[in-house]
Structure 1
Amino acid sequence: MAKHISMAVIRRLPKYHRYLKDLLERDIHRISSKELSEIIGFTASQIRQDLNNFGGFGQQGYGYNVEELYNEIGKILGLNNVYKTIIVGAGNLGQAIANYSGFQKSGFEIKALFEANPRFIGLKIRELEILDVEIMEDYIKENDIKIAVICTPKESAQDVADKLVRAGINGIWNFAPVDLELPEDVVVENVHLTESLFTLSYLLNEKNKATK
């Protein structure tokens, strides 16, 4: 039986990956959990507990091999795979995501953008032509697309998600401000930008009250 890993641990893994990449770029190849804790902001105990969920990476008296740990966390995150990806919604947010080169470097290969608004159809973002959403389901099936990014208004997001699932998509990155109702075997990661902004607003408000 596969070991259950908490979502809290899983959500910390990308941060480990990012900081380890920074260390490699600074030509640092060995680091202790104490040194890593000072950089990343987690306690040394938390770091050891997190990494022990996936096997033993560190050595007593040596610490962690940065390159090895970086590569292993990349494998755990599935970044050694290539994911054929589409974006649905070619407005400002969809275009910004399409223009971000970091996705390609991480194995998320954006193949096409889809849009319902006729004035966007046929335009190009980088080398990607914006296609009519009416042909989206056929395109997904013909090109073995596995991941879709939803950047549509909330009113159309559920309908779009239903079409994506029907066409065979099994992973959705949802930027629409709505909780989607989908089958249990479809993996969804919701990114609600306004909720994050409201959290920032709360923290600023609390800070302002404390200084009065």
Structure 2
Amino acid sequence: MEKQRVSDAVIRRLPRYYRQLSQLEREGVLRISSGQLSRLMSLTASQIRHDLNCFGGFGQQGYGYSVKGLKSAIADILELGQQKHMIIIGAGNIGQALACYEGFPREGFYVHAIFDNNPRLIGKTVGRLQVSDIQELESYLAAEKVNIAVVATPGEFAQQTADRLTACGVRAIWNFAPIDVAAPNNVVVENVSLSDSLYALSYFMNQLDEQA
């Protein structure tokens, strides 16, 4: 039987559930109903039940959800805790910030290398990593298994960097360059636009000003 495809919208809400449940667990909350969770997350209870039912459902009628159990189940769905090996292309401000972010290892994401083409950056130590020459990228990928490649280059180099990565067999790209990149259908690309979020924030701020 063909496995039912879960919509992208549902998948993108799972990290929100995971973060909220992590906070509840830190606060010592043991159980929570879909109604209580809906008020915390500004979602409807029916939406939450629908999302979780896509994976079989985890609650017990009249008792709600086990916070620890639901968090663990979502972590399994997202494959958190399973080691993912990452590299970063681009040792500028964003690349360095990502290389130094201490939250990744706690969730099983480990940055093992960072590359750049700037002679002033090559050889520099960023966190616990030394910046490697981008010319070594192909030989590195031939020798090491990489699950996720982070593209943090200027926009004009982003697509060609993505092409090099996919040609070497990288199957997942997390793109922070200021343009979207394309990849073959067998490669997952997550384009992250910091500007888009800022533009949206500007709009909503102006809306609040007009209502004041």
Bin the TM-score by the shorter chain.
over 0.9
Which stretch shows the higher mean deviation, 202-211 or 44-53?
Answer: 202-211
Instruction: Provide the C-alpha distance between the structure 2 equivalents of 1:205 and 1:37, rounded to a whole number of angstroms.
Output: 27
Q: Aligned residues, how many? A: 211
Q: Does residue 147 in structure 1 map to residue 159 in structure 2?
A: no
Instruction: Provide the C-alpha distance between the structure 2 equivalents of 1:134 and 1:2, rounded to a whole number of angstroms.
Output: 42
The residue that corresponds to 1:39 in the other structure is 40
The residue that corresponds to 1:23 in the other structure is 24
The residue that corresponds to 1:123 in the other structure is 124
Which stretch shows the higher mean deviation, 71-80 or 111-120?
Answer: 71-80
How far off is 1:35 after superposition?
1.2
Unpaired stretches in structure 2, ≥5 consecutive residues: none
How far off is 1:49 after superposition?
0.8
User: 1:34-62: per-residue Cα shift (whole Å, max 9, x none)?
Assistant: 11112122111111111000002000111
4+ residue runs over 4 A deviation: none
Contact 2:159 2:182 in 1 (8 A): yes
User: 1:147-176: per-residue Cα shift (whole Å, max 9, x none)?
Assistant: 100000000001111111111110000011
Contact 2:182 2:189 in 1 (8 A): no
Amino acid at match of 1:65: S
The residue that corresponds to 1:200 in the other structure is 201
Matches within 5 A, 1:101-140: 101-140=102-141
How far off is 1:208 after superposition?
2.1
Instruction: Provide the C-alpha distance between the structure 1 equivalents of 2:183 and 2:41, rounded to a whole number of angstroms.
Output: 35
TM-score (norm 2): 0.96
The residue that corresponds to 1:163 in the other structure is 164
- Percent of aligned pairs with the same amino acid: 49
Unpaired stretches in structure 1, ≥5 consecutive residues: none
Instruction: Provide the C-alpha distance between the structure 2 equivalents of 1:171 and 1:81, rounded to a whole number of angstroms.
Output: 15
Instruction: Provide the C-alpha distance between the structure 1 equivalents of 2:40 and 2:159, rounded to a whole number of angstroms.
Output: 41
RMSD: 1.0
Contact 2:30 2:68 in 1 (8 A): yes
How far off is 1:94 after superposition?
0.5
